[in-house]
Structure 1
């Protein structure tokens, strides 16, 4: 269903109008009877997978401290 309201009414009834939008209605906000904007549900973004990580596994020792010689190399010692 499509509903048109003026700006003042939209400000006064925003929570109710948002509930109607969530239920599938479209709300048109008008100024002096001329449509200016519409409230519509936000489209959920499609789930994305990172293809470059296919087959990647975290090594079992990934979170272990680095050996002293490698740590020294990273720290520039």
Structure 2
């Protein structure tokens, strides 16, 4: 089933049933996140959750590259 077909089916439902679909979808998404959290306990959800996974960044990480200085 394609996403378009799914959307068309949901649009045919009355508003109260559409809300049930929305609530159930939110439940499934949160359940999926919980399962991923169990599989990858070292990764914290949210912004900055991957900090330190790939090692430390150098202090000059945000500095312009030497090759770009003539263009600045």
TM-score computed with the length of structure 2 as normaliser: 0.34
TM-score computed with the length of structure 1 as normaliser: 0.33
**Structure number with higher relative contact order (C-alpha < 8 Å, ≥ 6 residues apart):** 1
Structure with a larger share of its residues in helix: 2
